Structure 1
């Protein structure tokens, strides 16, 4: 393999590991929640969902926004193409967001794709 191809491969792999928001599995989030008492922010998405991709690119890949979210919530992503929803949750469309407390109560449900300012506004008072 040429050094240029090796460099390109390394850069591609690095980009894949640089997703700004560190999504957990639901099981990991429940363990972390016992210690932190933070709400779980559960994003329900699909692989081919244009609006889900927009939300990932425009909101979750933003480093400052990712830090803001991780200070307040434990982020979890469930892909309906490969995973099942916990707690018997149902969605009409993707993306949809559920904010879940330590007792598995839904504190808020937010359907749809949002920009950074709107998503902050919709979630800033959740505790």
Structure 2
């Protein structure tokens, strides 16, 4: 019985993921339509960014973080050098995350963050959004 429970929990975690947009304009329109802020993850794909990869495969795979992002945001993942997005969002360093409400950047997060530190920052963002 215990093995079955572990298998079920593992499979739920495996299939839990963020529903990423890859088109900034479509994500922005969805953000306006749903009144949810944008969660913009900007990475560099070529050459590959090790910290972007680590952020995507550890921090952004945490079930608690996934659920939070899915509940509160419209998520969009962009390549710094090839994706089409507003020039003012072009980051000097990657990964960079922007939280945008309407047309205003309310938070910019630069670099890799551990699950614990990122969770703390997400809770701060939640408080800012619900003032």
TM-score above 0.5, yes or no: yes
Match of 1:85 in 2: 85
Q: In structure 2, what is the Cα distance between the partners aligned to 1:121 and 1:26?
A: 26
RMSD: 1.8
Q: Which runs of 4+ in 1 moved over 3 A?
A: none
Aligned residues between the structures: 109
Unaligned runs of at least 5 residues, structure 2:
1-14
Match of 1:32 in 2: 30
TM-score, normalization by structure 1? 0.76
Q: In structure 2, what is the Cα distance between the partners aligned to 1:124 and 1:64?
A: 12
Q: In structure 2, what is the Cα distance between the partners aligned to 1:59 and 1:72?
A: 17
Match of 1:6 in 2: none
Unaligned runs of at least 5 residues, structure 1:
1-17
TM-score, normalization by structure 2? 0.74
Contact 1:38–1:72 (CA<8 Å) still a contact in 2? yes
